[in-house]
């Protein structure tokens, strides 16, 4: 399968999300945004590759729904964490505290 420029663009979106995750991990909000960028790249790639072979987009709707549910769950956890800890720094999360 020959990759078109749109598919290469979706791979570029995914890789840029990975780089943002690697280099901007100080705040949890930055990490969640990088996860959303990676999800956007995956959805865009699936949309292009699935659209070339089939006209059935029900699987794409399931993937988009999972992405939206993941984002809303992440925001709810972020709000509850900020209420408990007062900030969204990763270093404030110490797993060994009881």
pLDDT tens string 39-73: 888 888 888 877 767 777 777 788 888 888 888 88
More confident of the two residues 17 and 92: 17
Question: Which structure tokens are listed for 76?
Answer: 């709810």
Which residues does 13 contact at the CB level (< 8 Å), separation at least 6? 37, 38, 40, 41, 44
């Amino acid at each position: 399968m020959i990759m078109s420029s749109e598919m290469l663009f979706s791979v570029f979106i995914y890789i840029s999300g990975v780089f943002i995750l690697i280099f901007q991990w100080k705040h949890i909000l930055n990490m969640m945004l990088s996860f959303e960028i990676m999800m956007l790249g995956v959805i865009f790639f699936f949309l292009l590759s699935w659209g070339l072979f089939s006209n059935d987009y029900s699987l794409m709707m399931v993937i988009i729904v999972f992405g939206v549910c993941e984002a809303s769950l992440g925001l709810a956890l972020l709000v509850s964490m900020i209420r408990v800890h007062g900030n969204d720094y990763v270093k404030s999360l110490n797993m060994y505290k009881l």
